[in-house]
Amino acid sequence: MKKFICKLVIFFCLDIVLLSGLLILSAQDRWRMPIASLTKSEEYFKGNVGAGEIIPFIEKVQEKNSYTKLILGDSVCNQIYNRFQVKNDVYCIAGTNRAVTLAGQYLLAEEFIKNHDKVTDIYLIILMDSLITDFDYQFGYQYVIMPFTETDTIEFLKEETKKELYRKYGSFFCQKPVVEIIDKSPLNRKLYLNFLVEKDKVSTEKSTSVISKVSYEYLEKLYYMCEETGIKLHLLSGPHADTPERHQLEEKMKKELERKGIMENFESYFNSITYFPIDLFRDGVHFDEEVVPNDFYEEIIYKTCLKDFKVK
């Protein structure tokens, strides 16, 4: 009996070693795609997702140069403003997407301020959707944990926030070596992200707030950081599709902010909301590039009254 148990333990140990070896090997350049093909996980490495999409923006705001103004925002901000970076030598334009959450936007702003001496203005241009966004199980890991862990910038989040991330994703899976192995391997992405899908299904976490907790917390931190450093923060809205659902969401947000007694902090945001016909959008959120000409984006930018912003 003892011999059988010993053999069983050895068998399981060998299995663990072999499996661990496969997972580590799947993150190596030489073996990444062959293993992905074998395990039918190629799709998890397609597209510019997660760290590959966000790290270039982290590096951009860290670059020491003569920029004095920063534009941050979600994917609609990205669609409208990023195209004009080559024409602007005053503005650093770093529109990313809503999945980075307001915590990620805060980290980008902090890195910009640390690496630039004469910052005067920061523009945060986001849809109402971005104010709703919290750390979700899939995109939160790919767009917050991965890029900010791999660049060692996640440490500048609040301790309470880091504990929340560890609880949601598991502290082991938030360690830099583990994050890098998951990021570089389609197989590991497939296994871990599918685990998060299942975890999300059984999650009992519910929020009654329209605007997410992380948005409230990191907008406050962003305002405080800008106030401390003498920088003017502009919270502005991106353009929305003119639908009943969008107008209803605006009213819900206003009522929540009035109940909390902080509506005055968001007045400029709601005053900047513009609505456009739904047929100009390809998905109800982003403009349809086949319908909207480049001049249209210029008109939107003119309406935001960004000083010194160049489109020509």
Give the tens place of pLDDT for each residue, 166-197.
Answer: 999 999 999 999 999 888 877 778 888 888 88
Rounded-to-integer distance, Cα 258 and Cα 281, Å? 31
**Pairing between strand 232-237 and 240-241?**
unpaired
Rounded-to-integer distance, Cα 148 and Cα 151, Å? 5
pLDDT at 22 over 50: no
Helices and strands (H, E) in the chain, number of each type: 15, 6
- Can you list the positions of beta strands (E) in 187-306? 232-237, 240-241, 275-276
> What is the pLDDT averaged over residues 138-142?
90
Longest dimension (CA), the chain: 82
The closest alpha carbon to 82, from 307, 271, 301, 308, belongs to 301
Burial code (b: 16+ CB inside 10 Å, e: under 16) for 147-182 equals: bbbbbebbeebeeebeebbeebbbeebbeeebbbbb
Rounded-to-integer distance, Cα 203 and Cα 225, Å? 34
Give the tens place of pLDDT for each residue, 106-128.
Answer: 999 999 999 999 999 999 999 99
SS (H, E, C) 266-291: HHHHHHCCCEECHHHECCCCCECCCC
Does the pTM exceed 0.85? yes
Name the band, by pLDDT with cuts 50, 70 and 90, for residue 207.
confident
How is residue 95 annotated by DSSP?
A: E
Name the band, by pLDDT with cuts 50, 70 and 90, for residue 44.
low
Distances (CA, A) of 70 to 6, 92, 111, 217, 305: 62, 5, 11, 21, 15
> Tokens standing for 303?
């309406």
CB atoms closer than 10 angstroms to residue 63? 12
10 Å CB burial of residue 298 (0-12, 13-18, 19+) is: middle
Rounded-to-integer distance, Cα 141 and Cα 135, Å? 8
CB of 146 closer than 8 Å to CB of 183: yes
pLDDT greater at residue 130 or residue 207:
130
Sheet holding 91-95, edge to edge: 91-95, 69-73, 121-126, 232-237
> Tokens standing for 29?
């350049």
Measure the CA angle with vertex 285, ends 284 and 286; round to 5°: 110
Rounded-to-integer distance, Cα 107 and Cα 121, Å? 16
3-state secondary structure of 235: strand
The share of the chain scoring above pLDDT 90, in percent, equals 69
Name the band, by pLDDT with cuts 50, 70 and 90, for residue 244.
very high
Name the band, by pLDDT with cuts 50, 70 and 90, for residue 13.
very low
CB of 237 closer than 8 Å to CB of 126: yes
